[in-house]
Structure 1
Amino acid sequence: MRNWRARTAAIAVVSALALVTACSSENEDEGSGGSSGGTSGGDSGSPASELSGSLAGAGASSQDAAQQAWMAGFQDANPDVTVTYDPAGSGAGREQFIAGGVAFAGSDAYLDEEELAAANERCGGEVVELPIYVSPIAVIFNLPGVESLNLSAETIAGIFNQQITTWNDDAIAADNPEVELPDTAITPVNRADDSGTTENFTDYLAAVAPDAWPHEASDVWPVEGGEAAQGTSGVVQAVTSGEGTIGYADASQASGLGTVHVGVGDQFTEYSPEAAAAVLEVSERAEGRGEHDFAFDLARETTEAGTYPIVLVSYGLACAAYDDAATADLVQGYFNYILSPEGQQAAADTAGSAPLSADLSQQFQAAVDAIGSAA
């Protein structure tokens, strides 16, 4: 189960509301009509081409590459629509969405109880929360001459808790007997900003290696010292520019660095989209949420072969009802494209994410179909 940390209650409007400039008169008359939002099943065909206007979102930087692919594909099918996405981070995205500053958001962690209540209030009803982006979190390092290492959960935790401080430590050497390890000092690199990637990574450590990681899951890095960097790109840059550095980042941005094969059961598993998706398939939906809220408690402790448990499940946040019918149509149309096979494949090709299974997509489609207008 996920460990919760109380987040700051103060929320400021930091971005202008997504403005919709125009829609067809037929759609305005229909109010909640999903006809212009794309047909059920994520079809981005001719009905979606009637859409026009502007739609703004913000949130997880891990989604940035996928969002760029989704925006390009959706806008290609809907040339009169402009979609923007500010990769300001999960915490900022949730704050902006709850404050009404953006029409949709991306978050690498599902809403906690306090945030969920605030989001439902903003929406005037139920929030829609869907896993739209599934990707492994790669443990990346920069150690000249070493491209990959086997590390158990306890060893990873010991490194990031700064209890294992050199690369030739016995715990690392034991799982890598054929690797010549230097006595180089280890420099852990963590996110400086509130981060859903951090929360997913620390959730894994707390669940699988509690003795070596005596901290709760948190989107704020809990260990003092080391090196901190802003955003996913900042962590990757800090690891790349150092020597003996180690960090964690969405696998889509791990190219060119050494990566860790993670201990799962009695095997070591290399990250891959398929291995990440396998974890979601064996996880259970969180209890006590709304009908259109698909938050999952991830099975971090799984020992099933072929699974990679350091996985990031990044959510799309929307309202089931918007005050403005045109905004509802645009959000529904965009989320239809994201869930479609075409949209999921575009993200996979661009960001290396795992396409949702047909079964999961079908479950989530009902929530997208419910997006409409309160007018």
Structure 2
Amino acid sequence: MPFPLYLLALAVFAQGTSEFMLSGLLSDIASDLDVSIPAAGQLTSAFAVGMVVGAPLMAVLSRRFSRRGALLAFLLTFLLVHVVGALTTSFAVLLATRVIGALANAGFLAVALVTATAMVGPDAKGRAASVLLGGVTVACVAGVPAGALLGTAWGWRSAFWAVALISVPAVLAIARAVPAGAPESGGPGALGELGALRAPRLLVTLLLGALVNGATFCTFTYLAPLVTDVTGLGTGWVPVVLALFGIGSFIGVGLGGRLADTRPLPLLVCGSLALLTGWVLFAVTAAHPVAAVALALVQGALSFAVGSTLISQVLYAASGAPTLAGGFATAAFNVGGALGPWCGGLAISAGFGYRGPLWVSALLVALALAVGGAALALRRAAPAPAVAQSRASS
């Protein structure tokens, strides 16, 4: 893989850390800025909404610039809003920085996905996407716990400063190492790309990605109370289990990258069936510490192996939308990232306890299997163009 891919992954690591680190900082932020914890929780919701809305919009905007120019603009914006966030004493300003930061993050990831796949051969998009998404999984393993530790030691602002500092070398490296490219011209145009995004195969793949990612973050969001209240482990085990889930996700991205380009359908079918089985087993055995700890690792690996493969399949399916494909893939997966925790919260509020999100995760994957199976059956049942034409003329 080209070295600039790993530089893009460094920036994605910083952005992934920012996206997830607030889970361990909300109490300190609420106390420091004199707001309630539910109000502070709006910071997470604002970021999620910004990612969903911003990905396609920023991808369209990026067409006016070279890919390197767009990447630098988005990353510099992301860096600067974290400096503002670290300095502000106003909750409203901090909330605004989260929205702007999410827009910049969404735009960067959308352009980075397209840039990464353009750096490699036409049959290596899965491996390129896996390298880029490796930054997100490393953020889960190392970045988020490190942010929580910084917040405990030096206050929540130190975590914002750390994200800004990590972004600096990524800015310098991208400016030097990523090919400049040129503004998109001579292609189908934004409207033409939007038309290409209506292809049935692509729409189904985006839906599957949202469902699988929703299942992943449905359980991940409530993993800490699951470990303490259902599994019965002490609070000291929470970072261990979260780290194991993150390690599993890193393994899964690597596995998905190796197989996504050559055997995507077997990986998606077998991986999704294993993922469904794992969520059901996790729900049934959540009270047993050994099983719960082991399944956190296994489900992290399966979730990201299937999820990263679906991202690569979006890029393959959207050949007619070379600049917008990454934006819509980013938006679909963030729809899942917002929908999953919401559904998990509904299950908890309905009285199903902290096992509820596990059953919701299983249900979402089962729905993905049903949708994918129906789409595959319809595609195989459809007559080939030549056959259809022959029948129409007879």
Q: Give yes or no for TM over 0.5.
A: no
More strand by share: 1
More helix by share: 2
**TM-score, with length taken from structure 2:** 0.27
**TM-score, with length taken from structure 1:** 0.28
